[in-house]
Amino acid sequence: MTSSIPTREVLIFGGAGFVGSNLAHHLLSTTDENIHIFDNLSRRKVEHNVQWLQKLAKGTGRLKVTVADVRDANAVTKAVYAASEIYHFAAQVAVTTSLEDPRADFEVNAGGTLNILEAARKSGNRPFILFTSSNKVYGHLGEQTGSSGVSEVQPLDFCSPYGCSKGAADQYVQDYARTFGIPTVVFRMSCIAGPRQFGNEDQGWVAHFAYSALQRKPLYIYGDGHQIRDVLAVQDLVRAFTSAHENRANTAGQVYNVGGGKSNTISLLELIEMLERDLRVRLKYLFCPARAGDQPIYVTDFTKFAQHTGWMPERNVLKTVRDICAWYKQNASLFAAAPFVLPGATQPDLLWEIAS
């Protein structure tokens, strides 16, 4: 007897990246859903994430990969047409890059998001859409974030071009729920960390610190090193995604602050001390001037999301750091210089297309 429940068609924009590949792996491993990854492969080393997913899906016909850019409205429309569920992670992710090229930052983050929303509206399918925004939409914040952290009632303050572009996208996603009845959810996220993160000092700082310790490389500390963040393990974030979808009767049209919360806060210098203790190494670091747009303290108050879904973080910072280090040790060859090879090019049994 065949099931009467239709197969979910899950589309992940930015699906080759750190967060997207972890979500795709979870869905391929624990569900029967068809997964469509849409990514321009511009992020350093993400082709390895695609190869990892292709091995998992080999012979199932459940994984499709489209190499294209969210700025290409035609490619986006084609990808969205059959989707019943969309996760939008494709983005320009660094404040520093937005300062160097504000137009490109806007075109990717704001323009790309509008392309996805318009494609979803015109499809007539009303797909569930989850968009990952940023805590940078709250601006500088200063030293005070409240005893419980930053909640969704915190006034928006779009500091930096990156904050403006993500904030504009954030507002558009919310409005498409209000105006067009599309079930959208916005996650304003803090620091996400975990395996498969090719971290650098602009984005993915926890992994960057861990890899620097493992490689015995010096670090640059921008500011005094006392900046505080709450860290959320990517495994817990993936659980938050599934919780948002499973509870979409409550979450549709909502915006949530999602992060590790008060119990998972750490400063830059405290992370260095943790790595030195756990890895038994001595890290060298140099202090540099603070960078524009850096928040002195950011701690997430995720009370609203917990109330709507029952979700809570499960992994602490030490466990997350150990997960990163273990993955690095198992995949050290990925960090060696190697020529780029387009994944899937010699694997005809896998669905692969390059949008033109």
User: Measuring CA to CA, how many Å separate 77 from each of 139, 168, 180?
Assistant: 33, 21, 17
Q: Which residues contact 205 (CB under 8 A, 6 or more apart)?
A: 191, 199, 268
Of residues 8 and 265, the one with the higher pLDDT is 265
Question: Where are the alpha helices (H) located in the chain, listed in sequence order?
Answer: 18-30, 46-57, 73-80, 95-100, 102-106, 112-123, 160-180, 205-214, 234-246, 248-251, 268-279, 303-309, 317-330
What is the rounded CA–CA span in Å between residue 305 and residue 309?
6
| pLDDT value of residue 337 | 53
What is the rounded CA–CA span in Å between residue 72 and residue 243?
30
Q: What is the CATH number of domain 9-354?
A: 3.40.50.720
Q: What are the tens digits of pLDDT across the range 334-356? A: 887 544 444 444 443 344 444 43
User: Measuring CA to CA, how many Å separate 121 from each of 25, 73, 142?
Assistant: 28, 13, 39
What is the rounded CA–CA span in Å between residue 119 and residue 38?
14
- What distance separates the 2 farthest-apart alpha carbons in the chain? 66
Q: Which residues contact 26 (CB under 8 A, 6 or more apart)?
A: 238, 242
- Give the confidence band of 201 by pLDDT, cuts at 50, 70, 90: low
Give this prediction's pTM: 0.91
Q: Per the structure block, which two tokens stand in for 307?
A: 């109330």
Count the alpha carbons within 13 Å of 295 in the hemisphere toward its beta carbon: 25
What is the rounded CA–CA span in Å between residue 52 and residue 47?
9
Q: What are the tens digits of pLDDT across the range 49-73? A: 999 999 999 999 999 999 999 999 9
Position of tokens 């709507």? 308
What is the rounded CA–CA span in Å between residue 154 and residue 146?
10
- C-alpha closest to that of 50 among 350, 329, 355, 356: 350
| pLDDT value of residue 294 | 80
Domain ranges of the chain: 9-354
Verify whether residue 211 is a known catalytic residue.
no
Q: What is the average pLDDT across 258-275?
A: 97
Q: What is the average pLDDT across 33-42?
A: 96
| pLDDT value of residue 353 | 47
CA quadruple 301, 219, 204, 318: dihedral sign: negative
β-partners of residue 129 are: 86, 184
Indicate the average pLDDT of the chain: 90
Catalytic choice (87, 162, 172, 256): 162
User: Amino acid letter at 310?
Assistant: G
Give the phi and the psi of residue 174 in degrees, each rounded to 5.
-65, -40
